[in-house]
Amino acid sequence: MNDDTIVALSSGNLPSGVAVIRISGSACDSISKQMLGGLSEARVAHLKSVKHPSTQEELDRGIVIAFRAPASFTGEHCLELQLHGGRAVVEAVLNAICEFNGVRLAEAGEFSRRAFENGKLDLTEIEGIADLVASETEAQRKQALAQSRGDSRETYEGWRKRLIHMRALIEAELDFSEEEDIPQEISKEGFAQVKALKEEIENHLNDNRAGEIIRDGFKIALMGKPNAGKSSLLNALAKRDVAIVTNEAGTTRDVIDVHLDIDGYAVIVSDTAGLRISDDIVEAEGIKRAQLKGQEADLVIWLKEINDDQPYPDNGFDNVIHVTSKDDALSMQDGLSISVANENGLDSLISEIKKQIRNKLQNLDGVLISRLRYRESLVECGNHLSFVIDNQVSDIELKAETLRHASDCIGRITGKIDVEDLLDVIFSEFCVGK
């Protein structure tokens, strides 16, 4: 832990109506004395003249709020200055603050890191805040808000505590091995609890990856032969001219992603190269990438021109819907058909997409797994628990030790144990001022 006081602009791009500068650390007292004329009361908004510490020149006037450790976001003394959001205002105030001894500009995520290190928030709450700041759709906002206020922490910490208790029950057998009956009963209860928790964790994992999809976006790949009209459909869905459309087969090579908000869910639609055998190196690479996109997608929309008589191929993708394209004359096709030229059938296609999203993401209650990091730790935890309840293994000491590994897996999610190696990665995702 370092003693530096950190400062940053925590609000967005300048110029803006209001700019919020945040300061955290022990220098807050001298800053408030020398620049703000002192702040009598914590957590109360004061209208103040913000002055340069040595010249006492007025730099701006604004609302300032002081927080006293540990009752602040970081757990340290903090100041928040709400200034006029002019570039020169912010620069003058930041420069003045950095003149104090031991004060420097904050690194990305450093306020949150201090909040974590001072035990104000656990890692899931901090990652929830990062997601809330990054949220673009209603579903993302709701999920991130729940996580930032501790819903995931409660679930995971609850499990960790139960695991520690179960270990105590099972270890009872080791401690009292000479005595009869009672310890065996206790450890039997321990194993029953392990089995029950293992089922809970399995149910939690069996979630269609809904939490991750809400956070990262529902992925749709537009696929089909060259010239099927994929790029035209992408442009129609995006309502702007994103991808090049020509009547030449093999126009698209790179994957082109468009982010949409459908029904409050983040959706990423990817336009891909038309699939065919090609000797062209660039096109062949595009086709390889197209196939990868299809494999990763939550939904493949396979387009086939109305005058293409060949049957739909079986590409082995998990979830495919077939759509007839260029149906300009509104022929009565079975299933979905569209004409981008005449804007026919697009509403039905979007309704079908909404249905697919709902099937995957709705009707799931409780805490969802929002990150792969959590999922991996939970899977590992579950594997340890399988070992503990395996009747073929009789070594109780080994089982108790394995239970400790299981609770450590959960502890890595919340940051309760041994996460030094993770922190740099986690906090580097944050923006400066967070």
Among 230, 293, 360, 371, binds ligand GTP (CB under 6 A): 230
Q: How many angstroms separate the CA atoms of 34 and 100, rounded?
A: 10
Least spacing, CB of residue 238 vs ligand GTP, in Å: 13
For residue 232, state whether it binds ligand GTP (rule: CB under 6 A).
Answer: yes
For residue 228, state whether it binds ligand GTP (rule: CB under 6 A).
Answer: yes
> Dihedral angle at the C-alpha atoms of 145, 146, 150, 154, nearest 10 degrees?
-170
Strands 5-9 and 16-24: antiparallel
> For binding to Mg ion (CB under 5 A), which residues are involved?
230-231, 251-252
Cα-based distances in Å from 132 to 82, 320, 422:
21, 32, 20
Least spacing, CB of residue 284 vs Mg ion, in Å: 16
For residue 227, state whether it binds ligand GTP (rule: CB under 6 A).
Answer: yes
Contact 60, 89 (CB under 8 A): yes
Nearer to Mg ion, 252 or 370 (CB): 252
Q: How many angstroms separate the CA atoms of 56 and 58, rounded?
A: 6
232 binds, among ligand GTP, Mg ion, none (CB under 5 to 8 A by kind): ligand GTP
Nearer to ligand GTP, 160 or 230 (CB): 230
Contact 356, 199 (CB under 8 A): no
For residue 231, state whether it binds ligand GTP (rule: CB under 6 A).
Answer: yes
Nearer to Mg ion, 24 or 251 (CB): 251
Least spacing, CB of residue 224 vs Mg ion, in Å: 9
Candidates 16-24, 28-36, 226-234, 365-373: pick the segment binding ligand GTP (CB under 6 A). 226-234
Among 328, 390, 397, 418, binds ligand GTP (CB under 6 A): 328
Among 13, 54, 206, 247, binds ligand GTP (CB under 6 A): 247
Candidates 155-163, 168-176, 249-257, 362-370: pick the segment binding ligand GTP (CB under 6 A). 249-257
Q: In what order do the strands lie in the sheet with 78-85?
A: 46-51, 58-67, 78-85, 16-24, 5-9, 103-105
Contact 220, 269 (CB under 8 A): yes
Which residues of this protein are in contact with ligand GTP, per CB under 6 A?
Answer: 224, 226-232, 245-247, 249-252, 273-274, 325-326, 328, 339-341
